[in-house]
Structure 1
Amino acid sequence: MKHITTIGIDLAKEVFAVCAMDNTGAVIYNKLLKRDAFVNWGLQLPAGTRVVMEACGSSHHWGRWFAAHGHTAQLIAAEFVQPFRKSLAAKNDKNDAEAIAIASRQATMRYVSVKSIAQQEALVWHRLREGYKEERTAHLNRIRGLLGEFGIWPSKSADKLIRSLPKLSTDSNTPVGVRSAIEQTLQYLKELHAQLDQCDQQIAQHLKTQPEAQRLTEMTGIGTLTASAISSTVVDAKHYKNGRQFAAWLGLVPRQMSSGGKTKLGRTSRRGDAYLRSLLVQGAKSTLQVALRQTPDKANRLQLWIAQMYVRVGYHKTLVAIANKHARTIWAILARNERYDADAWQRMSVSAT
């Protein structure tokens, strides 16, 4: 009987596809299993089996489950699995499971680290917070559009719109039915803000239990949200060879379109975690504002670099450059277990001389 060395699994809510291969890459079996049968099948696997799944919903749960039962669990990003699917016209669960198994046999394949329960617990509050923010924006846009039907044109600013709603709800020129809708909107926004505050409290509480996240907040432009999100998303910074690779994973580097020995760089790749990238760019805004307020005689080396880049390439490119530099610094703090040291470059310059 052939020995199973690799199993590719296409995860789902109810029906799972499992493709088993031997050390030559030959398929031993490829079948569909319902949830209960899938669990029983997993319990009967020989210890040490290599189990590979696509990084999707519930993949971290199953990664922990297989690891707890003595197997080697690995996750592959969906974009790396797609090229190994036999036919785009014949996409089904079995073909997906086989493509996952084939992709895992590539020597240069990159994997997604399996998150711990604690990390995913913290990320729950980040996801809820983003959802509440989207609901708030959608509701404000909805009420702004409805008010426009009655010739009422509130400010485009969300804060100004919220401040104007109480006055509109008592204005005699506002139709009675509209006043009632505004009051309901105010109550709903109040509930959303309470939920957002609860999320912020939970995230701040999580930060207190994470020493590495606390070290990140010592950096300029890295606040509670960013530090908590990074410590909850990045399982092991040493997984990345250097800070440049970490920044590339976050999508903070240009796209490369080189050919014939000629290097051509395009726009920012925007690969990886969009939420982390947006937080780093937001933090870069505060760093940029502080740098531009400093006079040349009082600015430090980083602030001088930022000011010069701002003049040379403009606002948006400078933001991405700052976010990239922040990402590299974050990698150094996490991978080397260090604290942020803003004056390290000065000591390096002195030692070099």
Structure 2
Amino acid sequence: MRFVPIKTIEQQGCLVLHRTRHLLIRQQTATINSIRAHLAEFGIVAPVGRRGVEHLLEVVADPNDTRVSEAARACVAILGLQLRQLKAQILDLDRRILAWHRSSEASRRLNHIPGVGPLLATALVASIAEPKVFRSGRDFSAWIGLVPKQNSSGGKEKLGNISKRGDRYLRGLFTAGALAVIRYAKIHGTKHRPWLVALLARRPTKVAAIALANKLARIAWALMTKGSRYRQPAALMV
């Protein structure tokens, strides 16, 4: 029987910060989609991105623009106010998470891993009460949901799609971090990362990102278990 270690009060508090921030981001996305959808009914469409939403709110704030009815204008103005409040609240939570990160020695060590920023580092430290309960980095990666399904039989090993079982929040953060590493490598060159170069040559970017996220998760587990710091591979030091 495998027992779950008890988290500290500080870890639980940090997880509340992350969960609240994640909820507010979903609410922010829903609010933006509502603003776009309501104004699209009046034939007012804006480009994708933050500037596009701001343009839509400027249209609503203009009383001389007769394309929108007064009832719709009042409702969208309420959504715009809610959107600004959500952005301010998310920014405040970001500051709190960053302060928690700076106060945690383990979180600062994890921050040196490529693709792992303060958000992922604090989420890992807060979520994993005792890293040694996992027998290996693969077990830790499987717990997050970053390993392929096993469909082996008769001595033949057959790997399927990524299981996606486990901690969805951590999996999303690892995937986003891996995509950031790949994007940076494509802009500044990948000659110092031969493993990533070979992977991108034979696999699509998103598939390579999952493989890289798996690798990053194993590195993070090793650092948390041993209490060591991340060291750049020899290829990156050239």
The normalised TM-score by structure 1 is 0.63
CA distance in 2, matches of 1:271, 1:150: 42
Is the 1:247–1:328 contact (alpha carbons within 8 Å) kept by the matching residues of 2? yes
Rg larger in 1 or in 2?
A: 1
Q: Which amino acid aligns with 2:11?
A: Q
Is the 2:36–2:53 contact (alpha carbons within 8 Å) kept by the matching residues of 1? no
* Residue in 2 that maps onto 1:311: 201
Structure 1 residue 208, shift from structure 2 partner:
1.7
Q: Which amino acid aligns with 2:110?
A: L
Q: Which amino acid aligns with 1:141?
A: N
Is the 1:243–1:328 contact (alpha carbons within 8 Å) kept by the matching residues of 2? yes
* Residue in 2 that maps onto 1:165: 56
* Residue in 1 that maps onto 2:214: 324
Match of 1:223 among 101, 111, 117: 117
Q: Deviations over 1:108-164 (max 9, x none)?
A: x33332212110100101011011011111112222222222222333x24243221
Stretch of structure 1 that moved more, 337-346 or 212-221? 337-346
* Residue in 1 that maps onto 2:32: 140
User: Comparing both structures, which one devotes a greater share of its residues to helix?
Assistant: 2
Residues 306 and 214 (structure 1 numbering): CA distance in 2 closer, same or farther, change over 3 Å? same
Q: Deviations over 1:165-203 (max 9, x none)?
A: 232111333322222223222211111011101111111
* Residue in 2 that maps onto 1:209: 103
1:182-331 correspondence runs (5 A): 182-295=76-189, 299-300=191-192, 303-331=193-221
CA distance in 2, matches of 1:290, 1:191: 32
The normalised TM-score by structure 2 is 0.91
Residues 313 and 343 (structure 1 numbering): CA distance in 2 closer, same or farther, change over 3 Å? closer
Is the 1:140–1:158 contact (alpha carbons within 8 Å) kept by the matching residues of 2? no
Q: Deviations over 1:262-298 (max 9, x none)?
A: 21110001121100010000000111012222446xx
Q: Which amino acid aligns with 2:226?
A: R
CA distance in 1, matches of 2:49, 2:8: 37
Structure 1 residue 231, shift from structure 2 partner:
0.3
Matched residues, number = 234
Is the 2:179–2:206 contact (alpha carbons within 8 Å) kept by the matching residues of 1? no
Corresponding residue SS for 1:267: strand
5+ residue gaps, structure 2: none
Structure number with greater CO (CA < 8 Å, separation at least 6) is 2
| Pairing 1:152–2:44 present | yes
Residues 140 and 191 (structure 1 numbering): CA distance in 2 closer, same or farther, change over 3 Å? same
CA distance in 2, matches of 1:344, 1:209: 30
* Identical-pair percentage: 35
Runs of 4+ in 1 over 6 A off after TM superposition: none
CA distance in 2, matches of 1:222, 1:211: 15
Structure 1 residue 341, shift from structure 2 partner:
0.4
Is the 2:120–2:170 contact (alpha carbons within 8 Å) kept by the matching residues of 1? yes
- Pairwise CA RMSD of aligned residues? 1.9
